[in-house]
Amino acid sequence: GETLPDETLPDEAHSGEAQPGKIVILGAGAIGQLIFHQLSIHGLAPVLMARDAEAGSQELALTDLDGETLKRQAQFIDQTGLASCELLIVCVKAYQVEAALLPLLKTLSTDTHILLLHNGLGPHLSVAPHLAGRGLSLGTTSQGALKLGRWQIKQTGAGLTQLGHAQGAPLAANLRQALLAAISNSEWCEPILPMLWQKLAINIAINPLTAINDCPNGKLADAQFRPTILALIGEVIAVAKAEGIALERQQLTERVYRVIELTAGNYSSMHQDIHHGRQTEIEAITGYLLSRAAVHGIAAPVNEAIYRQLKSLECDDKA
Inter-CA distances, 8 with 12, 19, 20, Å:
11, 16, 20
Task: Pick the closer one to ligand KPL by CB: 13 or 264.
Answer: 264
CB of residue 309 to ligand KPL, shortest distance in Å:
17
CB of residue 61 to ligand KPL, shortest distance in Å:
23
The 8-class DSSP code of residue 283 comes to G
Task: Pick the closer one to ligand KPL by CB: 48 or 202.
Answer: 202
Active site (annotated) includes residue 199: yes
CB of residue 260 to ligand KPL, shortest distance in Å:
8
Range 129-134, long-range pairs (CB < 8 A, 24+ positions): 130/102, 130/105, 131/105, 131/167, 131/168, 132/105, 133/168, 133/169, 134/105, 134/108, 134/110, 134/168, 134/169
CB of residue 276 to ligand KPL, shortest distance in Å:
14
In sequence order, the 6+-apart residues with CB closer than 8 A to the CB of 125 are none
Inter-CA distances, 277 with 95, 216, 294, 319, Å:
16, 17, 29, 10
Q: Rounded CA gap, 58 and 44, in Å?
A: 18
Q: Decide if 58 contacts 151 (C-beta within 8 A).
A: yes
CB of residue 269 to ligand KPL, shortest distance in Å:
3
Q: Rounded CA gap, 280 and 304, in Å?
A: 16
Q: Decide if 142 contacts 160 (C-beta within 8 A).
A: yes
Residue of 22, 93, 154, 199 marked catalytic: 199
Task: Pick the closer one to ligand KPL by CB: 198 or 269.
Answer: 269
Task: Pick the closer one to ligand KPL by CB: 131 or 200.
Answer: 200
How many CB atoms are located within 10 Å of the residue 48 CB?
A: 22
Q: Which residues bind ligand KPL (CB under 6 A)?
A: 119, 202-203, 206-207, 217, 259, 263, 266, 268-269
Task: Pick the closer one to ligand KPL by CB: 207 or 253.
Answer: 207
- Residues forming the active site: 199
